[in-house]
Amino acid sequence: MPHGLQRVSHPVVDGPLRAPGILDAMNPLPGTTTAAAVVVPARAALGPLAAAAALALLLGLQALATDVYLPALPALATDLRAAMPAVQLTMSALIVGFGCAQLVWGPVADRFGRRPVLLAGLALFTVAAVGALLARDIAQVVAWRAVQGTGIAATVVCARAMVRDLYEPHEGAHVMSRALTGLGLIAIAAPIVGGVLSSLAGWRATMAALALAGACLLVFVIWRLPETIRTKNPAATRIAPFAAQIGRTLAHRGFRAWAALVCCTYGGLMVFLAGSSFVLIDGLGLDAWQCGLAMGSNSLAYVAGTVICRRLLPRYGLAGAVVRAAGFTAVSAVLMLVVAATGHVAVWTLLVPQWIYAVGHGVHQPCGQAGAVWPFPRAAGVASALAGFVLAGVGMAVSLWLGWHLVGTAPRPYFIAVACFAIATCAVAWTWVRKHGEPPRAVSEVA
């Protein structure tokens, strides 16, 4: 087992990779009957490396949908003669679809399994990419991007839930950090590819690339990915049990701490994703492909953060790793405020503080995603969906705010916004996560 991590036996299911069997049917979930608990037949087990690779591909679809597209935003605005707020709506629509759909996909995945939801979501994503490719005006692009967000929600909900299906929290965070290293590599390549495609063939080429990626991932799931859910819950989509589970999830202090951390750290990243292309291209005069290189460099720093995460976890645990990584986030906040105060805006004054922020984000993100679902081994889909819904709300608010306040030639609001999210991330890490975030080595089941 890597880095001295040991498997922790679950109070109901012994060993994170053991398929449910007769004993599980004899000992059903609390509050259910043996008729209600549907035991999933044994499927091929995923080892940690294979699981990390699958998670990277599934989570990477979200990065592709944003990072390939971002360098093409100015070209989109020019081609469709759209104003800045309308262009930012294409990002907001993606986030709205992504956030709201998670509340549907989560319980559906707990009832029917991860694979059916993944197949439906990937099919939606691919069709929506083709629709955006053929769009004739900005309104059609906005509509198809919302459908794309709905498809992405399925992959992200299932990926996070699969971590809880297969692993206990500490090992799950380790596997998630490996997956996010892979996602970081995807995020390095995505803006570079998007910038080159936009420069050579226009913004529509980025949508063609997304359609191809969605189709390839759909084939991968059909061909290689097994079902991971241990026991399906027929009551998961009923209104009363669903509402009760949401209440239990929100009442858990650990969930609130980790969800708040992920929202704050993602907020700062979202400012960079949605705003930096306008600062770099409109304000600093970079070409689209140069902007793609600059944005890709941020992902290198993020990958470094995920590597640091894997070094910190065995020694300090989830909460301890986050508390220490917040030091990077704090340094980034100070540098961003200095740039905002002095007005000295250059490529390096934008990227260096953002790189430092990304290193901290590379620790906060895997720990936060694993931490948010650890108390809910029987309702990981709902917990993942609820955390993602809140996260998407933050992303939508950031995108809308940037649409009204950011001008590429006057980027002071950009630096202030990243600094504010960095300060909030540090505050959550050093208070709520430190106090409520560390899961016990033997996890007691909440739901």
Residue 86 vs residue 5, higher pLDDT: 86
Residue 13 lies in a domain: no
Which tokens in the block code for residue 405?
């306040």
Any residues with CB less than 8 A from the CB of 369 and at least 6 apart, and which?
160, 163, 176, 262, 387
Query: Contact 358/303 with Cβ under 8 angstroms?
Result: no
What number is the average pLDDT over the span 83-92? 81
Pick the more confident residue, 441 or 226.
Answer: 226
The conformation of residue 11, written as its DSSP 8-state character, comes to: S
Task: Say how far apart CA 95 and CA 147 lie, in whole Å.
Answer: 10
Rounded distance, CA 440 to CA 366, Å?
A: 17
Enumerate helices (H) and strands (E) in the chain, giving the number of each. 15, 2
Q: Which two tokens stand for residue 87?
A: 């262009």
The answer to whether residue 23 scores a pLDDT higher than 60 is no
> What range does the domain containing 408 cover?
48-225+251-436
122 and 105 Cβ atoms separated by less than 8 Å: no
Q: What would the pLDDT profile of 240-278 be if each residue is shown by its tens digit?
A: 888 898 999 999 999 999 999 999 999 999 899 888 888
Residue 39 phi, psi dihedral angles, 5° rounding: -80, 130
* CA separation for the pair 211, 261 (Å, rounded): 32
Q: Give the model's pLDDT for residue 151.
A: 95
Q: Is 166 exposed, middle or buried, given 0-12, 13-18 or 19+ CB atoms closer than 10 A?
A: buried
Is there a domain that residue 239 lies in?
no
Nearest to 263 by CA among 85, 434, 396, 128: 396
Phi-psi region of 350 (alpha: psi -120 to 50; beta: other; left: phi over 0): alpha
* Mean pLDDT score, 119-140: 94
142 Rama sector, left if φ>0, alpha if ψ -120 to 50, beta otherwise = alpha
The predicted model gives 181-197 an average pLDDT of: 85
Distances 274 to 72, 84, 403 between C-alpha atoms, Å? 11, 11, 9
For tokens 């694993």, name the residue.
370
**Range from 82-86, 211-215, 292-296 that averages highest in pLDDT:** 211-215
pLDDT band at 45 (very low <50, low <70, confident <90, very high): low
Rounded Cα distance, 367 and 386, in Å? 17
Q: How far apart are CA 439 and CA 375, in angstroms?
A: 8
Domain membership flag for residue 346: yes
Dist. CA 98–CA 86, nearest whole Å: 18
Which residues face 407 on adjacent strands?
Answer: 410
Name the strand (E) or helix (H) holding 231: strand 231-232
Distance of CA 410 to the CA centre of its chain: 29
Q: Is residue 17 part of a domain?
A: no
Q: Which tokens sit at 285?
A: 């005069």
Burial bucket for residue 50 (CB in 10 Å: 0-12, 13-18, 19+): middle
Coil/strand/helix, residue 31 = coil
Structural domain includes residue 153: yes
Of the chain, the percentage scoring pLDDT greater than 90 comes to: 37
Q: Could you tell me how many residues make up the chain?
A: 447
- The two tokens of residue 138 are 């900005």
d(CA 109, CA 120): 11
Q: Is residue 29 included in any domain, yes or no?
A: no
Residue 167, CB half-sphere, CA atoms under 13 Å: how many?
A: 24
Q: Is 74 part of a structural domain of the chain?
A: yes
Please classify residue 65 by burial: count the beta carbons closer than 10 Å to its beta carbon, then call 0-12 exposed, 13-18 middle and 19+ buried. buried
CATH number at residue 174: 1.20.1250.20
Question: Average model confidence (pLDDT) for the chain?
Answer: 82
Domain count, the chain: 1
Q: Is 204 inside a domain boundary?
A: yes
pLDDT confidence of 205, banded at 50, 70, 90?
Answer: very high
Q: What are the beta bridge partners of residue 410?
A: 407
Average pLDDT (168-180) is 78
Distances (CA, A) of 286 to 74, 406, 412: 12, 17, 18
